Structure 1
Amino acid sequence: MADWQEISGGVTAPRGYQAAGITAGLKPSGLPDLALILSEGDAIAAGVFTTNQVRAACVDYCRQRLQAKAITRAILCNAGQANAGTGTQGWADALECAQLLGEQLNIAPESVLLASTGVIGQRIKMEILRAALPQLVAAVSDTGSDAAAKAIITTDLVPKTIALETTLHDRPVRIGGIAKGSGMIHPNMATMLAFVTCDAAVSPHLWQQMLSRAADRSFNQITVDGDTSTNDSLIALANGMSRTPAITDPGPDADKLEAMLTEVCIYLAQAIARDGEGATCLIEVEVSGAEDEKSACQVARTIAGSSLVKSAIFGRDPNWGRIAGAAGRSGVIFDQEDLQIKLGDFVMMDRGQPVAFDRTAANAYLKQAAAGEYLKSDTVAISVSIGSGPGRGKAWGCDLSYDYVKINAEYTT
């Protein structure tokens, strides 16, 4: 049983955080497009960012800030323009964003972290942003998480938010998160933004280690289309306002907090995969019997990212051969005589041999998942065993539909 409970409030559920989201006019659609997350006091910050060699100005900015000092007060996120591939002027825009927000909040610009999402190659519309910052700052509140979650999305169909609570030393500790992402989703990192807040006190080095491991088990285990982007950022703040003893070393308290942090990240990662562009269902791949967790995760990622597997699931075709083929090309060595494949409750291969199954019923299972209610019964479960080792891992993806091509063919037009 989980040692935490779900609560409302998103990134403002932990103590000492406020948030806001407004319509500044950055998006041509006229939808909300500017968000702010603010900590009442100094917060320890950790981050995981894109591995793409083409990076947005905000990514390089945040990396520099976190390397210099892991103390943060605010996260500013704009939607509409990615400010990636924008050269020296895009970098100057990022610095100005931090400077302007610092002045509005009366904090040091170095205490501001930045994120952007939108069309690559487009600078932030600075004239609009400058005019909107006073309104944004005025809008921050203890209940502003939902507004912020709506303001960071682009092609997403739904905002993504979660908050959990546990106890440490008989005091409540909370972690909240919001995320965006729908297309160009693939590990290392997926095209996504995620912001996590926590009110525990954690040392900077330990908090970064926790977040990196949580990312490996969540955001680096999702795939929609095999592409990663220029702006991917996962930023987590911990401000210590729960007034629990500081966690400075590995141990039971650190393990408990990291488990809850990982759960928040997994929930948000699943929500991104579930909301993949044009998707009709979530695919969850669980691999067991591997030599270690890393190998199991690699096999799971390969299956979840296979265009043939994803297309078959969209077509409601229980074609287990595509799953076997993807597992076999994952780069992980195993004996095919040990291979077992299940689709839901249907065993399709066991000990490397095909198993007769009710194809009509399996087809119905896939149709039921596609018709399932969001976040409840819309998951296609694929279970694969490749041996008798202790390694287990999960990955998440979505089916590949006609609408995915339509959405991306018309993205900038």
Structure 2
Amino acid sequence: MSSGKALRVAVAGLGTVGAGVVDLLARNRDLIAARAGRPIEVVAVAARSKNKDRGVDLSGMAWEEGALALAKRNDYDVLVEVVGGSEGQTVEAVEFALKAGRPVVTANKAMLALHGARLGQLAHDNGVALAFEAAVAGGIPIIKALREGLAGNQFQRVFGILNGTCNFILTKMRQEKREFVDVLAEAQRLGYAEADPTFDVDGIDAAHKLSILASVAFGSPTNFDAVHVEGIRHISALDISYATELGYRIKLLGIAGLTPNGLEQRVHPCMVPLDTPIAHVEGVFNAVVAEGDAVGTSFLQGRGAGAGPTASAVVSDLIDLARGHNVPAFAVPPAAMKALPAAPMAKHRGAYYVRLMVVDRPGVIADVAAALRDEKVSMEAMIQRGRDPGEVVPVVITTHETEEAAMVRALDRITALEAVTEPPRIIRIIERL
């Protein structure tokens, strides 16, 4: 493709992101052409309903009903895949384009988390790019930062707020002292949460993104099955109130880092200290932190979803391709990737917040303390206010650093106590951010 000749783009999927890409390429046409060194034009699209008004001009573009049919056309240079889904025709379309020697730009984090290593190899074998800035943290250019801007660093850890829906819910719960179910319903009304919010609130979406980040940062093939995943359904307004009192904010974090036991990948609610920047990332915003041996700590914050931010990321990849810029999908060539052992969650070491609901009667705290002592879990502090004999009251305990397996054993013993009326609620405390 010679300089000055338009880069012809086929866009599979005309939902929020796909329509956003078409709109951005048209709206900033001249600026993008100047920065890319040539025009970037959408020549073909694929979506189910041809007559739906998507708020963008599709005149002059060829139309296909499915992603695979679009990929099989021979009149485009780059396939943009923004349909989503980790199996079926979406993956087949990406595979077809790569095998045909056409680069692919995708926002599909589920597909990359589950098939990234294979698709990266396919792109490498056919000498084309697999680009996915839009797959992680929307408008935050974290993939380019890890893969290029910070490429000289040995990374110790990458972590962040990777799901805006959960961050919105936790922010609202704290600010308005409301419960999870109530705020989730509001998030759905506002369009921040899907009708079926499982992927978001159960941590799966964040886990997909973390798997990709870990692969790019640590040169290991994506391994979604190795990610420990917990969501936010069990977080209550009571826990958020106690967190504030203790000097923390509750955030759903994705954390990947090298440990003596291997590569640790985990997504779960965390208590983060109020004096850390990530504690103050509110609403639907995302944030990602990378720790490198040369650069130290880099903190990036921005909108993690939506038409504009995600389209911005897609177009940045298209500009790179228009310039002839092609780097390995996951920062190193497939042959240089090394499968790292997965660190078992049972070996994780950290501090814990534990909330118990117990019948207020003599000896209960002694029994709880004995269960912790027997597993060598050291209490840092305890909150128990007032007396209400015979009634159920909350008791909050924070611990010093301990091994997860010991904490689990202690909680099993505590759960079995007659005076404990419901399973303990635990949230991991992250001090070093």
Per the normalisation by structure 1, the TM-score is 0.28
- Greater Cα radius of gyration, structure 1 or 2: 2
Per the normalisation by structure 2, the TM-score is 0.27
